[in-house]
């Protein structure tokens, strides 16, 4: 790996110059986060029902006694035997953070269209503990731009990440994060959703790799990522998330 090599004095000067840019980015991120929190809310009027290990639950019950709910739209369709590679990569980062989110008054739940039995089998294989429910018989993923019906695919355009894009072949599920809040009266509101690369800021591995000289070391978005039990010498392949 070839790179410029300089004296300590020159390195320190270059590092200080970069620090100026880093501080600008930090302040810009603070402003962005504040703007995100100030977004208006929309009331959730539809009664969504999810299949959970403990039995059917509505959206309000997924909050589990807290006032904020983070939903990850995990790409695991009813006819898939494995979850999306990119979503699985994200999921590897969740379990350690769940207890911290809970103590900050936020509940995390993953949602997929696959039946609960498939979700539970894949979750067991991967060793995850976070809550994960099925929206197989619900409009939830469709209403929040993470899943697409046959007629949308046949019409030649789907709405994803707040714009219309061509269908990705016959792919009916994409990933995203949706956030909800519950007020003191028990009413539920949709506060925020993000999709595609908008989710990558939540993935610690990517943020750490951004610090090293080779960065993410990829020639396609996350094309080096594998399910954690499939790395070995597997050839590179495009992530299904982008």
pLDDT tens per residue, range 141-161: 999 999 999 888 888 789 999
DSSP bridge pairs for 194: 177
- Looking at residue 222, what is its pLDDT? 80
209-242 pLDDT, tens digit each: 999 998 888 887 788 899 999 987 655 555 555 4
**67 phi and psi angles, rounded to 5 deg:** -100, -5
Given a cut of 80, whether residue 1 has pLDDT beyond it is no
- pLDDT category at 201 given cuts 50, 70, 90 is very high
Given a cut of 80, whether residue 100 has pLDDT beyond it is yes
- Looking at residue 218, what is its pLDDT? 80
Q: How far apart are CA 230 and CA 217, in angstroms?
A: 19
C-alpha distances (whole Å) from 37 to each of 41, 81, 126, 239 are 10, 37, 33, 30
37-45 mean pLDDT: 97
- Looking at residue 151, what is its pLDDT? 87
- pLDDT category at 59 given cuts 50, 70, 90 is very high
Given a cut of 70, whether residue 92 has pLDDT beyond it is yes
- Looking at residue 13, what is its pLDDT? 97
Residues making up the chain, counted from first to last: 242
DSSP bridge pairs for 16: none
Given a cut of 90, whether residue 60 has pLDDT beyond it is yes
- pLDDT category at 2 given cuts 50, 70, 90 is confident
Q: Which of 24-38, 48-62, 118-132, 215-229 has the lowest mean pLDDT?
A: 215-229
Q: Give the percent of the chain with pLDDT over 90.
A: 83
DSSP letters, the chain, are: -------HHHHHHHHHHHHHHHHHHHHHHHHHHHHHHTSPPEE--S--EEEETTEEEEHHHHTTT-SEEEEEE----TT-SS--HHHHHHHTTTHHHHHHHHTTTEEEEEEESS-HHHHHHHHHHHT--S-EEE-TT-SHHHHTTSB--HHHHHTT-EEETTEEE---TT--B--EEEEEEE-TT--EEEEEEEEGGGGGGG-HHHHHHTTSTTTT--SSTTTT---TTS-TTPPP---TT-
Give me the chain's average pLDDT, please.
93
- Looking at residue 234, what is its pLDDT? 54
- Looking at residue 168, what is its pLDDT? 87
Give the predicted TM-score (pTM) of the model. Answer: 0.91
22-42 mean pLDDT: 97
Given a cut of 70, whether residue 186 has pLDDT beyond it is yes
Question: Sign of the CA dihedral 12, 18, 22, 28?
Answer: positive
Choose among 233, 237, 229, 227: nearest CA to 87: 227
Q: Give the percent of the chain with pLDDT over 70.
A: 96
């Amino acid at each position: 790996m070839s790179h410029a090599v300089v004296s300590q004095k020159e390195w320190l000067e270059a590092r200080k110059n970069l620090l100026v840019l880093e501080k600008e980015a930090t302040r810009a991120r603070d402003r962005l986060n504040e703007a995100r929190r100030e977004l208006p809310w929309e009331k959730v009027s539809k009664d969504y029902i999810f299949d959970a290990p403990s039995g059917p639950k509505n959206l309000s019950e997924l909050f589990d006694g807290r006032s904020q709910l983070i939903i990850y739209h995990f790409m695991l369709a009813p006819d898939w035997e494995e979850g999306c590679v990119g979503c699985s990569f994200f999921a590897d980062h969740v379990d350690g953070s769940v207890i911290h989110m809970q103590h900050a008054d936020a509940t995390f739940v993953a949602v997929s269209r696959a039946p609960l039995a498939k979700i539970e089998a894949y979750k067991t294989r991967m060793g995850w503990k976070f809550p994960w429910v099925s929206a197989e018989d619900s409009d939830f993923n469709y209403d929040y731009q993470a899943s697409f019906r046959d007629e949308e695919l046949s019409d030649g355009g789907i709405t994803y990440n707040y714009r219309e894009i061509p269908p990705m072949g016959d792919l009916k599920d994409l990933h995203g994060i949706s956030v909800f809040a519950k007020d003191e009266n028990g009413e539920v509101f949709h506060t925020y959703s993000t999709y595609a690369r908008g989710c990558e800021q939540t993935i610690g591995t990517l943020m750490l790799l951004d610090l090293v000289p080779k960065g993410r070391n990829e020639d396609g978005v996350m094309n080096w990522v594998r399910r954690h039990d499939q790395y070995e010498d597997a050839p590179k392949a495009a992530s299904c998330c982008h």
